Amino acid sequence: METEIRRLAREHLRSHGAAGLSLRAIARDLGVVSSAVYRYVPSRDELLTTLLVEGYTDLADAVEARIDEVDPADHRARIVAGATAVRAWGVGDTARWTLLYGSPVPGYAAPPERTVGPGTRVQARLLHEIADAEAARALRPAALVTAPPAGFMRGARSEFGLSISDEALTAAVTLWSTIVGMVSLEIFGQYGPDLDDADALFAAQLGTVLTTLFG
């Protein structure tokens, strides 16, 4: 029953959006009384949390699997693989990408104790890939610019267990922000109707960012 509830919730997410999720509607599709669903999922907020954790986990699994296919010594290619996997997942499931990285759902606050860990797995992996590249002296020193406040850096290092310079950490955070921005612009149609080769545009944009880091 719980698996079927999640499956229907993903369908409703695609058709109605996160704000339109309804346990009663899911119960109707299951052909059961709503109390039967509430035994497994006590509230809409709990359902949204479940979908968030599931989405973050699915995305991270896809990204990590793709990176792990690439030669550990080819740092640039590993980051390209990870970024491309992020886009493929997002474009392939725009409803869940919107839940993860789109507008907040009115009236819902994600519980950090359940969502922060899964929600930062992709960022953590890319941060560690940049740290590995720096340790291997694969980054261009001239590309590592002045870092933001030290408090942010201490928090990021502690959270992700990083051994990395402030400058490289700044570059890594910028890379992640750029990836999410590029994918979101594409998914939400912000490039306009004349975008005829989204694959090529993403590759060109990512290549431009990585050229500043790797040459």
Least confident of 57-61, 97-101, 160-164, 178-182: 160-164
CATH number belonging to domain 52-212: 1.10.357.10
Sign of CA dihedral 153, 157, 160, 163: positive
pLDDT tens digit sequence for 92-136: 999 999 999 998 898 999 999 999 999 999 999 999 999 999 999
**99 or 36: which carries more pLDDT confidence?**
99
Question: 0.95 cut: is pTM over it?
Answer: no
pLDDT tier, 143 (very low <50, low <70, confident <90, very high otherwise): low
How many other CB atoms are found less than 10 A from the CB of residue 98?
A: 20
Query: What's the sign of the alpha-carbon dihedral 116, 121, 122, 125?
Result: positive
CATH fold match for the domains 1-42 and 52-212: no
Angle at CA of residue 97, ends 108 and 46, nearest 5° = 30
Domain ranges of the chain: 1-42, 52-212
Q: Provide CATH code, domain 1-42.
A: 1.10.10
pLDDT value at residue 20? 86
